[in-house]
Amino acid sequence: MENGQDAKHLLDMTAAELAAEIESLGGKKFRAKQILEWVWQRSVVDFSEMKNLPATLRGDLRGRLAILTSEIETRYDAEDGVVKLLLRLGDGEYIETVLIPAGRRVTACLSTQVGCAMGCEFCASGLEGLRRNLTAGEILEQIIQLRQATGQHITNVVLMGTGEPLANYDAAVAAIRAMIDPKRGGISARRITLSTVGLPKGIAKLADEDLPITLAISLHAPNDALRAKIMPTPSRYPLADILDAAEEFFHSRGREITLEYTLLAGLNDSLDCAAQLAGLAGKLRCNVNLIRYNPVEQLSYAPPPAGTMQRFAETLRSAGVNVNIRQSRGSTVKAACGQLRIGK
């Protein structure tokens, strides 16, 4: 990055804040719109390439603002088309971000923290603990990096990378607002999903935001006792409180909830667990995503046989629950659900 360490991060700014910054340099406010078009519509991140800006302003901006503060350390290409980027942040920390193409639907899976404090026993993201929060700009520039690296237009975003978005609430919400801003990301709010382990106060706060996004709750257990075993930190919040907050979100935003459930062989994949999960799902307007566990080298958990997953799904369907078995993508480069982490 050619900017100094004290340079402001352009992606942390609203359009109005950028316009004010340009005015402070003697430029015209409308230049902000031009810059945002270069960045978001053309993925241009070098002011010197923004030819419709005055040369003097381009020079002033190079010393004042940074568009990207991260660099691509390594790119991983999976056989199924998934692309994972290991990004080195400005302070030397690392995060991973993933692009998942599926026909016309191209999804960016973004990280919101360096590491994770939730400590879910089966997930790689928390193996090194939490290092720090990402800024809104650091969340957003993952989109720019993925677009530049692949040349693909991103249609959907999931906040499902490393970190708990609601534990970095302000930055996550600011990033979402930038994504849906027609002057910036221009992505439909209905194509954005925020995934949380279930922080009731954060869910309730999100319900008050004017953001018709999809809320996904990483449940992974149908009762508090089992959840405490595999998700010790999130289990501080009873499932009843989480579901109450989710119901409030649904009534406030009118968006069906997604319940995410990773099946772990011999642990949470019994038909009794399926029946209990059906009971929870029946209390909400929701869909259930069943996820086959993606192995992590340092962990001893294993995925269940395909037949077990099918029987689990059929138990839910017979109880009237909408069920989807999520297709695993990117596992050959450790880019699948539960495999992302920090470090090289």
Q: Which of 43, 159, 38 is nearest to 98 (CA)?
A: 159
* Tokens 């382990």, residue located: 197
Which residues are 286's β-sheet partners? 257
Q: What fold is seen in the domain 8-66?
A: DNA polymerase; domain 1 (1.10.150)
How confident is the model at residue 322, as a pLDDT? 98
Q: Exposed (0-12), middle (13-18) or buried (19+): which is 92, by Cβ within 10 Å?
A: exposed
CATH code reported for the domain at 71-333: 3.20.20.70
Using only C-alpha atoms, the chain has a radius of gyration, in whole angstroms, of 21
- Band the pLDDT of 7: cuts 50, 70, 90: confident
Which residues are 115's β-sheet partners? 130
- Band the pLDDT of 309: cuts 50, 70, 90: very high
Tally the residues of the chain.
344
> Could you confirm whether 123 is annotated as catalytic?
no
Least confident stretch, 60-64, 105-109, 310-314, 325-329: 325-329
Q: How far apart, in whole angstroms, are the C-alpha atoms of residue 11 and residue 25?
A: 18
Q: Which of 123, 74, 132 is nearest to 98 (CA)?
A: 74
Angle at 224 between CA 223 and CA 227, to 5 degrees: 90
Average pLDDT over every residue of 52-65: 96
- Band the pLDDT of 343: cuts 50, 70, 90: low
* Tokens read off for 34: 């031009």
Contact 159, 165 (CB under 8 A): yes
| Selected catalytic residue, list 21, 96, 138, 260 | 96
How confident is the model at residue 147, as a pLDDT? 97
* DSSP assignment string, 201-220: HHHHHHHTSS--PEEEEE--
Domain coordinates in residue numbering, the chain: 8-66, 71-333
Residue-wise over 139-175: b if at least 16 C-beta within 10 A, else e?
bbbbbbbbbebbeeebebbbbbbbbbbbbbbebbbbb
Least confident stretch, 43-52, 189-198, 289-298: 289-298
| Selected catalytic residue, list 116, 120, 286, 337 | 337
- Dihedrals φ, ψ of 267, to 5°? -120, -55
Q: How far apart, in whole angstroms, are the C-alpha atoms of residue 42 and residue 31?
A: 16
Least confident stretch, 74-83, 96-105, 121-130, 225-234: 121-130
> Could you confirm whether 93 is annotated as catalytic?
no
Task: Give the pTM.
Answer: 0.95
Q: How far apart, in whole angstroms, are the C-alpha atoms of residue 164 and residue 157?
A: 15
Q: How far apart, in whole angstroms, are the C-alpha atoms of residue 238 and residue 242?
A: 7
Q: How far apart, in whole angstroms, are the C-alpha atoms of residue 111 and residue 134?
A: 8
- Band the pLDDT of 327: cuts 50, 70, 90: confident
Query: In 10 A of CB 316, how many CB atoms?
Result: 20
